[in-house]
Amino acid sequence: MDDALAHLPRAFAGKTVLVLGDVMLDRFIYGAVDRISPEAPVPVIAVEKETAMLGGAGNVARNVAALGAKAVLIGLVGRDDAGAALRGMIDAEAGLEAELVVDPARRTTEKVRYISGSHQMLRVDREDRSPGDGAALLAAFETRLASADVVVLSDYAKGVLTPAVVRGAIDAAKAAGKPVIVDPKSRDFARYDGATLIKPNRKEAAEATGIVETSDAASEDAGAAILAMAPGLQAALITRGGAGMTLAVRNQPPIHLPATAIEVFDVSGAGDTVAATLALAVAAGASLAQAAQLANLAGGLVVAKLGTDVVTAAELTACASSAQGEPGEIKIADREQAQRIVEGWRARGLKVGFTNGCFDLLHPGHVSLLSQAKAACDRLIVGLNTDASVSKLKGPTRPVQKEQGRATVLASLSSVDLVVLFDEDTPLELIKAFRPDVLVKGADYTVETVVGSDVVLGYGGKVVLAELKQGQSTTNLIARMNS
């Protein structure tokens, strides 16, 4: 993995991405399915939760903001409840501004997904694909262009990116010296001529080129065919799902990037994450090959999350820093980031476990406890006392190892999925925040004396007392070393 990739996300701060395209409202309705309707052979969803978020070009902008940069969104909405909801979300999103053209004759594009467990059962679309006010869209685009570092055209074929708007936007961006990343929907890729990079998925590339095979060689041919369609286009990046990505840069050998996702949970919005990452990497001075590598990692991260989610700069930095670029290497998190990770685990139906300690000098007793804890759950969180907390509990000569070193050692264990530092005397606040299904401590405690046991048992969780390895103690180990 290129070492420079790990430093790229840090350069995103201060960059501005101008996003022009189809703004949508994404609604997710979650529920349980345990019976078939007596009226027709269809599942009955008992609704438990509903969420809504920015979709389409709005999700590209949301990903830009999550990556620590500024997004300016240009789009079209109707004068309706969905349009009002979108404007409210934009106002509430840090790092995101918008110039939304309101068309009273149109309805705001809205996608409603019904989800049970980890399965999408149904999607309902409400939309109007008639052309919008192209002149107003281009006027808003050109007003904001000077302050942008890069442009993204997010085309969902909902009436915003007409041929005239695409041509006007690309020409204006080129004249201003701004790179243009295109996420296409039209089969006519020639209409995007003059852009820096076009990012079709496998299906879109096949429809545009007629090359339907999915091999590396066929993808190379498709990339070459796309570049032949648009002489002013610099590069094409074909996203190929589980087969990874293929990058074709004019007058350069093609590059194949393997997929990086360890676990694919939901592909909703993954293309938007890739587009946002590509744009920011280019704005930060990366080569197209580096930008594609980083976007590939971002895509692997986001498909392991639930719904139309985003990737943060911290997650991407940690992923790029890993020797294998694996999302699973992100194990040391602050409380806010850990909360998001745990919510994602819960949404997948995973059983979350929690244990805690100082773990000053890791010994076989610790390893045994952590192994037993992991055996009782799907994902294990370790609450780790900070240096100040350890000193308060153990005395001024402790800890022997600083907190970052202790966290790094714990994170290297396959039994540990997440390490979160805490400064308090006890981990009670972490337990209340994460609400683990299983709370684990050593058998030198009783269930009643385990901190947080009343909380966990109160909501139906379980307390497990792990068997101890005799003679294993950090205090005794330090005493033997000193003697």
Angle at alpha carbon of residue 175, lines to 162 and 69, rounded to 5°: 80
- Of these residues, 103, 183, 266, 272, which one is catalytic? 272
Give residue 208's region: left, alpha or beta (phi > 0; psi -120 to 50).
alpha
d(CA 31, CA 163) in angstroms, rounded, equals 41
DSSP class of residue 335 equals: H
**With the C-alpha atoms ordered 370, 371, 376, 377, is the resulting torsion angle positive or negative?**
positive
Q: Which two tokens stand for residue 7?
A: 């430093």
Phi, psi of 291 (to 5 degrees): -60, -40
How many angstroms separate the CA atoms of 122 and 112, rounded? 8
Residues listed for the chain: 483
| Other Cβ atoms within 10 Å of 396 Cβ, number | 6
Q: Is 379 annotated as a binding residue?
A: no
Query: How buried is residue 102: exposed, middle or buried, by Cβ count under 10 Å (0-12/13-18/19+)?
Result: middle
Q: Judge whether 263 is annotated as a binding position.
A: no
Neighbours of 57 (CB within 10 A): 31
* Residue 22 a catalytic site member: no
The rounded distance, in Å, linking the Cα atoms of 302 and 314 is: 13
Whether residue 15 is annotated as binding a ligand: the answer is: no
Burial readout 267-276 (b: 16 or more C-beta within 10 A, e: otherwise): ebbbbbbbbb
Annotated binding residue 203:
yes
Active-site residues: which are they? 272
Binding residues: 201-204
Residue set of the binding site for ATP: 201-204
